[in-house]
């Protein structure tokens, strides 16, 4: 079974969820019934993969997000300001209404000394300092990607800088968007819901149900092979990859219907088993990513 726009009703429904939210944001912003909100995107201990993923977004694209949906205040990688000026810009939202998005885990060893993001008036500012300061005053906090949501790769064994999730250092609710990286739609759709209605419905791990409610396995294009007991023996085989390590049965996310790179494809379609990057515990709990000889 191939999921396509014409053949799978769920594909249409999933795509309509985001397009409906975004289109309503567009129309209501045009007539002034909703207002843009300040957005701070803070990179802490990670690879910057989530902001790169967001830049690759489409429908809406990144330009729409920062011009029509938000006042994009700060991002470590994209800011034109430098040094003291950049950090002042980061903290300029304090006392105002703003949404804080954080990507990367929070390094806690030696009071966060292993993740210095800048200097303000001569004082070194750590990622831990920034998340604690900005997190407590934000209207919403969104942990973007695996590292921010639960530690991810940054907290993988042996975790020398004692990295933890964003919610571990804050005394408040954090909306988690696990994934390595986070799909642009997962963030933009969550943001659109916040602008229109407030907090989206969440599961027990504070993940938006509109993205994380059903496993990859339940919607996989190769599910029929699993049901018939026809399993791949090596990479490149076109049957179910469960026995060579696919983590689709335990990973709750909508990759099979949403796909990646402007909805061109996704790992299983390209003969790679799901490695569970959107599941809590990645990567340690998902290893080994490829397993041969499982019976």
Q: What is the pLDDT of residue 3?
A: 41
* 117 φ, ψ (degrees, to nearest 5): -100, -10
Q: Please, which pLDDT band fits residue 34 given cuts at 50, 70 and 90?
A: confident
Q: What is the pLDDT of residue 6?
A: 43
- How large is the average pLDDT for residues 186-198? 96
Model's pTM, two decimal places?
0.93
Over 80: is that where the pLDDT of 282 sits? yes
Q: What is the pLDDT of residue 10?
A: 56
Q: What is the pLDDT of residue 76?
A: 94
Q: What is the pLDDT of residue 14?
A: 63
- How large is the average pLDDT for residues 130-155? 98
- How large is the average pLDDT for residues 140-146? 98
Q: What is the pLDDT of residue 160?
A: 97
Q: What is the pLDDT of residue 223?
A: 96
Q: Which residues contact 223 (CB under 8 A, 6 or more apart)?
A: 1, 217, 240
Domains of the chain: 9-211 (3.40.50.700), 214-295 (4.10.480.10)
Over 80: is that where the pLDDT of 4 sits? no
Q: Please, which pLDDT band fits residue 1 given cuts at 50, 70 and 90?
A: very low
Could you report the per-residue pLDDT of 36-75, keeping only the tens digit for each?
999 999 999 999 999 999 999 988 899 999 999 999 999 9
């Amino acid at each position: 079974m191939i999921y396509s726009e014409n053949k799978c009703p769920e594909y249409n429904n999933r795509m309509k969820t985001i397009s409906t939210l975004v289109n309503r944001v567009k129309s209501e912003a045009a007539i002034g019934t909703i207002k843009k909100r300040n957005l701070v995107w803070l990179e802490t201990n990670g690879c910057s993969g989530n902001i790169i993923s967001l830049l690759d977004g489409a429908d809406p694209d990144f330009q729409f997000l920062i011009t029509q949906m938000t006042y994009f205040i700060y991002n470590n990688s994209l800011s034109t300001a430098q040094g003291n000026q950049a950090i002042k810009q980061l903290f300029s939202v304090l006392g105002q209404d703003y949404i804080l998005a954080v990507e990367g885990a929070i390094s806690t060893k030696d009071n966060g000394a292993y993740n210095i993001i800048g200097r303000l008036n001569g004082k070194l500012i750590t990622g831990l300092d920034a998340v604690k300061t900005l997190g407590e005053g934000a209207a919403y906090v969104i942990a973007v990607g695996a590292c921010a949501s639960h530690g991810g790769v940054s907290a993988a064994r042996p975790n020398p800088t004692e990295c933890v999730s964003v919610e571990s250092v804050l005394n408040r609710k954090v909306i988690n968007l696990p994934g390595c990286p986070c799909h642009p739609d997962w963030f933009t759709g969550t943001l659109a819901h916040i602008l229109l209605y407030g907090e989206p419905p969440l599961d027990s791990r504070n993940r938006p149900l509109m993205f994380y409610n059903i496993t990859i396995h339940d919607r996989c294009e190769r599910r029929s092979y699993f049901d018939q007991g026809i399993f791949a023996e090596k990479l490149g085989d076109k049957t179910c990859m469960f026995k060579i390590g696919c983590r689709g049965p335990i990973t709750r996310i909508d990759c099979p219907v949403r796909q990646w790179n402007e909805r061109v494809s996704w790992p299983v379609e390209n003969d790679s088993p799901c490695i569970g990057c959107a599941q809590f515990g990645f990567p340690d709990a998902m290893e080994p990513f490829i397993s041969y000889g499982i019976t």
